[in-house]
A and B are shown apart, each in its own frame.
Chain A
Amino acid sequence: GQNIDQPTEMTATEGAIVQINCTYQTSGFNGLFWYQQHAGEAPTFLSYNVLDGLEEKGRFSSFLSRSKGYSYLLLKELQMKDSASYLCAVRDSNYQLIWGAGTKLIIKP
């Protein structure tokens, strides 16, 4: 079967750095996406990785290791508005997105 694993919940302090991990087992791999979802709102696209390595976008970075079936999302200089769920999704061999259940990130002042 196909599986995406993420921690259910994480807590971090405003101004700090947090790393959200995602491990996957899918039938094929055609890219990995990270989305942000605030409570009661739609998911919004954050980043895309298809090759191994780090992709940086301002305060957010995403890393991929295809051989390990592993990715992480790194959030720096945390702000209160970063409190949200972060969803990891992998595009499989049929080009369908398989979604993790999401990691709820709580930022404390």
Chain B
Amino acid sequence: NAGVTQTPKFRVLKTGQSMTLLCAQDMNHEYMYWYRQDPGMGLRLIHYSVGEGTTAKGEVPDGYNVSRLKKQNFLLGLESAAPSQTSVYFCASSYEGAVQPQHFGDGTRLSIL
């Protein structure tokens, strides 16, 4: 059972570089989310999607873009990386419905120098 798979697991970038983080889920979940987790802070929602072809902004969307071309995949892009984007990024997915828990990937540890 793969669940939610994130690629890559680690990455170091230089300021100004771009990259894409990939999230794939095999649970046929409608909803997908991208969070960042920083020391001493709760998970913060960057962007989310309620279905294929849809995306919406979360709490901290600036500097990031997303796409959901296929139901199972949710991509997070950094167009011009900044040191403030150094963080651990988690992707999550869930079924539709308020009671449904979110299932998380193992995270991507991203450092921007």
Using a CB–CB cutoff of 8 Å, the interface residues on chain A facing chain B are 4, 8, 30-31, 33, 41-45, 48, 50, 87, 89, 91, 95-102
Contacts and interface: CB of A to CB of B under 8 A. Distances in A.
Interface of B: 4, 40-45, 48, 58-59, 90, 98-99, 101-107
Main secondary structure of the interface of B (DSSP, over half): loop
Contacts of A33: 101
Given A42-B90, A96-B45, A101 B40 contact: yes
A97 B102 contact: yes
Nearest to B38: A101
Given A42-B90, A42-B107, A43-B90, A99 B43 contact: yes
B42 A101 contact: yes
A98 B40 CA distance: 15
